[in-house]
Structure 1
Amino acid sequence: MSSTTARLRDAGRTPPTGIPVALAGGKSLQIHHWLRILPGKRLVGYGEWDGRKVLAKLFIATGAERHWQRESNGIQALQRAGLVTPDLLASGELPGGGYYLLTEFLSGSQSLQQVWDQLGDQPDALAAMDILQDALHTIAGMHRQGLAQTDLHLGNFLRYEGQIHTIDGDAIEVQEPGKSLGQRAVQRNLALFFAQFQPQWDKRIDALLPMYLTVNPVSGLEVEPLIEAVRTERQRRLDNFLDKTLRDCSQFAVTRSSRHYCTVLRSEQQALAPLLTDPDSAFGGTPLLKDGGSSTVARVTVGGRDLVIKRYNIKGFSHWLKRFWRPSRAWHSWLAGWRLNFLGIATPQPLAMIERRLGPLRREAWLITAYCPGENLFQRLGETGDDLPDQPTGNAMLHLFNQLNDARISHGDFKATNLLWHDDRVCLIDLDAMQSHDSETSWHKGWARDRARFVRNWQADSKLAQWLEQVLPR
């Protein structure tokens, strides 16, 4: 029996595969694998139609015609402009409501995002610049034809048989039909692109911009205003992402009541279910990592994987009076962890956050993160400071400090025990006091405190302390 629009809509986050989807004209579509699911709205999958491999987009929401039409118009605009994009094979209404759009499936292609991710956490400069050149040449080609991609990221460009293909017609806007985009529109669109990268890449924009200008020489496009626009756009993206971590969406599952609030990575929801139901069960019968008055920390094993759970305690009625009216420390640490994650700064991945509530009033709270097995920097560098770090450790430390500096983030408790060496990176833990600074004055004060506290881990006259004074950003 063919799957109907209603069945696909009702299936939510788990639409069926392996069954035919009836299309207009008596033909059907066989979906082998779903690639993206927006429950009840839009489904994207790989499958077969009329003996061909296809990428299928099914628009199943009520009133989905607008999105389907935008996708069709975007693909056609790319084709009219002579830009390379997968062929549009079929498009139309789904029996029972909704719309479909089928494009050529480029078997063996890789998105530029996949290629970028293969470079690792600190990509080789030449390989990275090669990827960015491919993207910037393609973006410049779109701008020359009056087109702008409003969802501009590396995932929307595919490498296939030596060419770059642009995908996601829904995000293509024809802003200046028949003529090149103006300087302001170009700057706005390039800021959208560069904002997806970590802040340290802002320093490379002066070297990257000429790659764009060789294809589309826009007058008046300057580096400094572009960098300011990039920072503004990155902050907007970060704010939107942090908001997502606190609401029910495709990436996070949120449950709430008058007595309870919980947000968890959706991919971890099933594995963590027993711990989410009874987080205090983690603290019985296992040695604690910390048993202090303000917090209790335990290492637990869930599904064969080590995790850390931290309970933020309420020490008494007077302590509760100071805490109940504001977000919990678990809430703050959850957002701090995801902020670092977004910016590519190493920290154990946050997995879930729970608050016990009494209506709008906060009580105890818990934070669950991945476990980092690395040794802390006291252990790695030695407590005396008599020796300098080896080159990999020294480079990783400076990389972390420069990342924090570029992102204007202060940790607030920069003890060497709060920095762990793992997988050739220095990871930050204990984010309770972390701050992101809006003003230069606030940032300078926060970084100065962090810098002084980190150097103070070792005797002032030690080799290590003196080396740190020389190399740490000021």
Structure 2
Amino acid sequence: MTPAALSEASALARAGRQPELPFRLLLDSGGSLTMLRLLRVLPGKRLVGEAEARGRRVFAKVFLGARSEQHWQQECAGLAALRQAGVPTPELLAAAPLPGGGHVLLTDFLAAAESLAEAWARVADRPAGDAAAQALLTPALALLGRLHAAGLTQEDLHFGNFLRCGDALFLVDGDAVRVITPGQPLPAARAVANLAIFLAQLPPAWDAHLETLLPAYAASAGAPHTAALAADPAGESLADSAHRRPAPSPALLRAIEGVRNWRLKDFLAKSVRECSLFSVERSFWRFSSVVRRHAERLAPVLADPDGVLARGSILKDGGTVTVARVQLGDGEVLIKRYNLKGFAHACSRLWRPSRAWHSWRAAHCLQFLGFHTPAPLALIEERYGPLRRRAWLISEFSPGPNLQTHLSPFADPPTAEANALRTLFAGLHAQRISHGDLKAMNLLWDGARIALIDLDAVVHHRSPATYRRAWRRDRARLLRNWPPDSPLHLWLDAHLPAG
């Protein structure tokens, strides 16, 4: 391995998202830290990764910038509070200022650990209430209950802050730990609000299965404040009613919905700005956003979208849109170019977000809420200052057949497809999402789920009244795919949400 170059916090703060690895930092004890692998970078603020110090593999957080001491002190105080409360967290090995500015915190490196986020990714596509998914969630909820019983909250309860190592589960990120009522259970309102942060990361379909998850939390949190989690007119707490599974309280459901709405709004804003998840470039002539982990793979498309599209297999070449299937790296992508038919059409699109922009946000919204759609990978727009011209949307290619060809009009849908149709439309109905062009060709079957495509008319309605009107149009459009007296048409009419 190349000898690590000696660096200082000030230089790392200027290095952006990709400091050259490995690099070495002097410690105030006289030794040094060698950063080997970066796991997270907040440019100019924080570097988190796998490192080596005094011949030992460690997990290192390097705090940079003007507020480095504040965040370092919060991290130290949070980890100390977790240890005092008996909440498992990796062992603290060192915490000190750096001689050249900045601060460092070292904890034990759990080589065999994986985050709950990584484990969840393997089961996220399973139906809500799935036993394997529940088995992943219940230990984290039990750990959260222990945290709340000790009077602590963790204000950044994303799944990446839970580490699974063998049979043990650890909570990390002391910077987000807050001591509310030390040694005493949290007040019910604070417990509900913090629990909602965790549960809001599950797709909305899981809201109907919370009664199977809450007992794990309540058993650790204790009786004094868990009654607020259950919708029980008799006031009986979860801890006192282990023989049954009460429904979650309206307060908890409202809190989950509020957090989920905020997270969705924040995520959609991130999808069009530079951040850890997306790489964004803006100029007078062009805008592009790409999912960061796919940026290297998609570099040829970002550099020359028309050239790559022309080399693909053209699936559609109409006046307003051109679609091609392209082999890229070890997989296939779909490139969809939104064209301008002429001067009048170009003028009508100048001031509006492009159809690609709308599809990009709609796809991310659907995925965030647990619906299936080909993964959106990149968005490109031609611009002239604030004016928009042609645009491209790049997504993963979905090879499944559409429902127009897959389903027979002369029979009810097979069991798997029937269940998928009911689940899809019940979910869209609950979230007040309309498609806008619900042809059967825009519904793909992948063998287990139905994927929505052609999303440039999708609307996430705030008003129930406007949604009902849009759903009536969607419902009628879907039914028109098959003869009115056909068994499939009649089955859909009977099983779709009412118009």
With the length of structure 1 as denominator, give the TM-score of the two structures.
Answer: 0.93
1:368-387: CA deviations, max 9, x gaps?
212112211122113xx013
Q: Do the aligned partners of residues 102 and 378 (structure 1) sit closer, same or farther apart at CA in structure 2, a change above 3 Å counting?
A: same
The yes-or-no answer on 1:431 pairing with 2:455 is yes
- Aligned position for 1:30: 34
- What secondary structure, in the 3-state scheme, does the structure 2 residue paired with 1:24 have? coil
Deviation at 1:177, TM superposition (A): 2.7
Q: CA 1:277–1:399 in structure 2 vs 1: closer, same or farther (change >3 Å)? A: same
Cα deviation, 1:271-290, whole Å, max 9, x if unaligned, reads: 33333233232454655322
**Helix, strand or coil for the counterpart of 1:26?**
coil
Q: Which residue of the other structure, out of 366, 378, 386, is the alignment partner of 1:340?
A: 366
- Mean alpha-carbon deviation: is it higher for 30-39 or for 340-349? 30-39
**In structure 2, what residue type is equivalent to 1:13?**
R
Q: Which whole-Å CA distance do the structure 2 matches of 1:111 and 1:431 have between them? A: 32
The correspondence of residues 176-195 of structure 1 with structure 2, limited to 5 A, is 176-195=181-200
CA distance in 1, matches of 2:119, 2:304: 41
SS at match of 2:324: strand
Number of residue-to-residue matches in the alignment = 472
| Distance in 1 separating the partners of 2:132 and 2:295 | 37
Using the TM superposition, give the Cα deviation of residue 127 of structure 1 relative to its aligned residue in structure 2, in angstroms. 2.6
Alignment of 1:299-448 (within 5 A): 299-303=325-329, 305-382=331-408, 385-422=409-446, 424-448=448-472
1:10-25 → structure 2 map (5 Å cutoff) = 10-25=14-29
Distance of 1:412 and 1:52 partners within structure 2: 58
SS in 2 for 1:433: coil
Describe the SS at the equivalent of 2:20. Answer: coil
1:122 aligns with 2:126: yes
Aligned counterparts, 1:64-463, within 5 A: 64-122=68-126, 125-216=130-221, 217=223, 218=225, 219-222=227-230, 223-284=249-310, 288-303=314-329, 305-382=331-408, 385-422=409-446, 424-463=448-487
SS in 1 for 2:297: helix
Unaligned runs of 5+ in 1: none
> How far did 1:240 drift?
0.4
Report the secondary structure of 1:248's partner residue. Answer: coil
Partners of 1:319 and 1:161 lie apart in 2 by: 60
Task: Describe the SS at the equivalent of 1:271.
Answer: coil
Give the drift of 1:197.
0.7
Higher alpha-carbon deviation: 288-297 or 227-236: 288-297
Bigger drift between 145-154 and 353-362 goes to 353-362
RMSD: 2.1
With normalisation by structure 2, the TM-score equals 0.89
| Letter aligned with residue 47 of structure 1 | A
**Identity, % of aligned pairs?**
47
For 2:369 and 2:485, locate their aligned partners in 1 and report how far apart those are by CA, in whole Å: 35
Separation of aligned partners in 2, 1:153 and 1:340: 19
Q: Distance in 2 between matches of 1:151 and 1:423?
A: 36
TM-superposed CA distance for 1:9, in Å, is 2.8
Whole-angstrom distance in 2 between the partners of 1:224 and 1:126: 25
Contact 2:117/2:159 (8 A) holds in 1: yes
Structure 1 residue 304: Cα displacement: 5.3
| Post-superposition CA distance 1:180-231 (Å, at most 9, x none) | 2112211211111111110111112244333323333214444112111211
Compare 355-364 and 212-221 and name the one that shifted more. 212-221
| 1:329-357: CA deviation from partner (whole Å, max 9, x where unpaired) | 11111101111121221111112212222
Unaligned runs of 5+ in 2: 231-248
Contact 2:204 2:370 in 1 (8 A): no
Which digits, 9 at most, give the CA deviation of each residue in 1:222-269, with x for residues without a partner?
Answer: 411211121111010000000001111122121222222121222333
Q: Separation in 2 of the partners of 1:283 and 1:37?
A: 33
Query: Matches of 1:130 and 1:270 in 2, distance apart?
Result: 35
User: Do the aligned partners of 1:205 and 1:227 also contact (CA within 8 Å) in 2?
Assistant: no
* Deviation by residue 1:303-349 (Cα, 9 ceiling, x = unmatched): 35322222222223332333222211111111011111212211111
Counterpart-to-counterpart distance in 1, 2:283 and 2:186: 50
One-letter amino acid of the structure 2 residue matched with residue 473 of structure 1: P
Give the corresponding residue for 2:234.
none
